[in-house]
């Protein structure tokens, strides 16, 4: 019996810790079944929503007229129009979803009709009326988008001769069972072990005057981004992301950078208050640090911050390829004692964990969470009833809507600045350079998917990859 034919387990067993048996076939299989069920539920809900919309608008079916009635699912992204692009002659409605990160729409050139402009994750329906056999051009009318590739042909065939189009492209030659099995196999590989681990908390050397001293080395290294996939990464201290630096307010900090990359560099302290000559933007505030040279930054950690550090010179190469890291000053600015939408945050709350999650989408590192692509992403393990904190950092080139299944996320700080009015959200859209701090309560046992909701950032023909991990909630000890 194949994995997808197996019944779901009667009860959810305690999820393994990463250092126990999380890589076992049984643990992986249980996780895969959970993933398939959750993703299938999402797909089903979306499909039901679309069907309901179409039936509300068109009465469903063929309305008793005897002519064909088709509802086609259309997906928009940067920069393509994909989905069901064929139908028999008759009434046609487009069910449109923007799976991209920026605003898109769909227009039909021959009919002079257009959908609403849709923000990321937006949906719309566009009734095209009764269509005769022929080719109709779909395109995005936002300036520059059609020229960038957002054009597709909608083929309307005679109702008697219509056959569903082969998926083609990357799916060409694959049977439905083969496509399903590729996806299942990719899920069963989670969590996979790889060499290297980023975001490791760095302990300082304490100098005689109390200054906290850190030593960083920038160099190009081989980095295993997913099992067996080694890329040329630009890294601090052999890590992607680089070492996680945490300071107390009032600390004097000294950071010595040795540049072993093949080009000049510097470090910008993004979101951190520094004197101008320590801002790390050569040649304005300092000279470039030449290959083979060392430079020392020194400043006071004056204000609380959830910031980050990264190269500024040649950032189009060094940053997207791995030279980025988290930098925190002071305590986590939790909204202790506040009541938000009926939920009161405990006055004495001690989160079970506080983790940075650095997002990337470009360079050799590509679509990753903390420098790793699924199935090598690290699971988040927590006990039932505990609270956890995630700090999102976007070091990529596009926004990422981060979605945690089951548990609402309380957004309580933006760019390290506490919000006067924290709010609960299902999905948090994190733009390049932004930081969001979120709190959640793991009140339900199970394995829950955690991913970017631009679906092409988590799935491809070969299976699941990229910006997806899981939160494993164990029963109370």
Query: Looking at the whole model, is its pTM more than 0.75?
Result: no
* Preceding peptide of 241 cis, ω within 30°: yes
Range of the domain at 253: 194-331
Range 114-141 average pLDDT: 92
Read off the pLDDT of residues 183-231 as tens digits, 9 standing for 90 and up.
888 888 899 999 999 999 999 999 999 999 999 999 999 999 999 999 9
Do residues 400 and 429 lie in contact, with contact meaning Cβ atoms separated by under 8 Å? Answer: yes
Range 273-297 average pLDDT: 96
Quickly state the pLDDT bin for 10 (edges 50, 70, 90): very low
Q: Could you tell me if residue 235 is inside a domain?
A: yes
Q: Could you tell me if residue 224 is inside a domain?
A: yes
Quickly state the pLDDT bin for 174 (edges 50, 70, 90): confident
Residue 12 pLDDT > 70, yes or no? no
Q: Could you tell me if residue 287 is inside a domain?
A: yes
Q: Could you tell me if residue 263 is inside a domain?
A: yes
Residue 158 pLDDT > 80, yes or no? yes
What mean pLDDT value characterizes the chain? Answer: 85
Q: CB neighbours (10 Å) of residue 72? A: 19
Range 71-92 average pLDDT: 91
Q: Could you tell me if residue 34 is inside a domain?
A: no
Q: Could you tell me if residue 290 is inside a domain?
A: yes
Q: What are phi and psi of 104, to 5 degrees?
A: -145, 170
Range 443-471 average pLDDT: 93
Burial (CB < 10 A; 0-12, 13-18, 19+), residue 185, is middle
Q: What are phi and psi of 214, to 5 degrees?
A: -125, 145
Number of domains in the chain: 1
Q: Could you tell me if residue 343 is inside a domain?
A: no
User: What is residue 248's predicted lDDT score, i.e. its pLDDT?
Assistant: 97
* Residue owning tokens 């005689």: 208
Euclidean distance between CA atoms 448 and 4, whole angstroms: 18
Q: Could you tell me if residue 226 is inside a domain?
A: yes
The CATH number linked to 199 is 2.60.40.420
Read off the pLDDT of residues 229-270 as tens digits, 9 standing for 90 and up.
999 999 999 999 999 999 999 999 999 999 999 999 999 999
* Residue owning tokens 């000279």: 287
Specify the higher pLDDT residue, 279 or 62.
Answer: 279
Do residues 421 and 337 lie in contact, with contact meaning Cβ atoms separated by under 8 Å? Answer: no
Residue 156 pLDDT > 50, yes or no? yes
User: What is residue 416's predicted lDDT score, i.e. its pLDDT?
Assistant: 94
Specify the higher pLDDT residue, 292 or 45.
Answer: 292
Read off the pLDDT of residues 408-452 as tens digits, 9 standing for 90 and up.
999 999 999 999 999 999 999 999 999 999 999 999 999 999 999
Which residue from 9, 55, 11, 64 is spatially nearest to 32, judged by alpha carbons? 9
Residue 32 pLDDT > 90, yes or no? no
* Interstrand relation of 68-77 and 90-98 (parallel, antiparallel or unpaired): parallel
User: What is residue 462's predicted lDDT score, i.e. its pLDDT?
Assistant: 84
Specify the higher pLDDT residue, 443 or 39.
Answer: 443
Quickly state the pLDDT bin for 1 (edges 50, 70, 90): very low
Largest Cα separation within the chain, whole Å, is 88
Residue 30 pLDDT > 70, yes or no? no
């Amino acid at each position: 019996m194949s994995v997808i034919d197996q019944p779901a387990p009667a009860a959810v067993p305690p999820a393994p810790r990463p250092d126990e048996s999380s890589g076992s076939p049984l643990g992986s299989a249980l996780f895969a079944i959970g993933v398939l069920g959750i993703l299938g539920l999402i797909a089903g809900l979306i499909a039901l929503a679309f069907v309901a919309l179409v039936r509300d608008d068109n009465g469903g079916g063929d309305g008793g007229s005897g002519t064909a009635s088709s509802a086609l699912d259309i997906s928009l992204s940067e920069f393509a129009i994909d989905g069901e692009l064929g139908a028999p002659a008759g009434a046609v409605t487009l069910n449109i979803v923007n799976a991209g990160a920026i605003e898109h729409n769909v227009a039909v050139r021959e009919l002079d009709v257009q959908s609403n402009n849709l923000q990321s994750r937006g949906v719309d329906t566009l009734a095209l009326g009764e269509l005769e056999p022929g080719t109709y051009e779909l395109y995005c009318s936002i300036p520059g988008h059609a020229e960038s590739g957002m054009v597709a042909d909608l083929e309307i065939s005679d109702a008697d001769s219509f056959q569903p189009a082969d998926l083609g492209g990357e799916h060409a030659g694959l049977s439905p069972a083969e496509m399903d099995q590729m996806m299942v196999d990719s899920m069963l590989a989670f969590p996979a072990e790889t060499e290297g681990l980023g975001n490791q908390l760095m302990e300082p050397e304490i100098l005689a005057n109390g200054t906290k001293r850190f030593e960083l080395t920038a160099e190009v290294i081989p980095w295993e981004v997913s099992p067996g996939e080694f890329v040329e990464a630009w890294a601090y201290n052999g890590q992607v992301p680089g070492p996680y630096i945490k300071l107390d307010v009032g600390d004097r900090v000294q950071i010595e950078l040795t540049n072993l990359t093949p080009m000049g560099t510097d470090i910008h302290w993004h979101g951190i208050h520094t004197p101008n000559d320590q801002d790390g933007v050569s040649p304005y505030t300092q000279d470039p640090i030449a290959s083979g040279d060392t430079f020392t930054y020194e400043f006071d950690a004056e204000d609380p911050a959830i910031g980050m550090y990264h190269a500024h010179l040649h950032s189009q190469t060094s940053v997207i390829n791995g030279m980025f890291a988290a930098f925190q000053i002071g305590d986590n600015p939790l909204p202790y004692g506040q009541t938000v939408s009926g939920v009161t945050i405990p006055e004495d709350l001690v989160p079970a964990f506080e983790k940075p999650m650095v997002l990337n989408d470009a360079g050799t590192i590509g679509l990753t969470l903390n420098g790793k692509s699924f199935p090598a992403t690290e699971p988040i393990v927590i006990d039932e009833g505990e609270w956890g904190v995630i700090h999102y950092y976007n070091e990529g080139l596009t926004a990422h809507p981060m979605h945690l299944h089951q548990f609402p996320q309380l957004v309580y700080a933006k760019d390290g600045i506490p919000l006067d009015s924290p709010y609960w959200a299902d999905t948090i859209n994190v733009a390049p350079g932004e930081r969001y701090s979120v709190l959640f309560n793991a009140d339900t046992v199970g394995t829950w998917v955690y991913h970017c909701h631009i679906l092409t950032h988590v799935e491809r023909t070969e299976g699941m990859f990229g910006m997806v991990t899981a939160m494993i909630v164990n029963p109370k000890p």
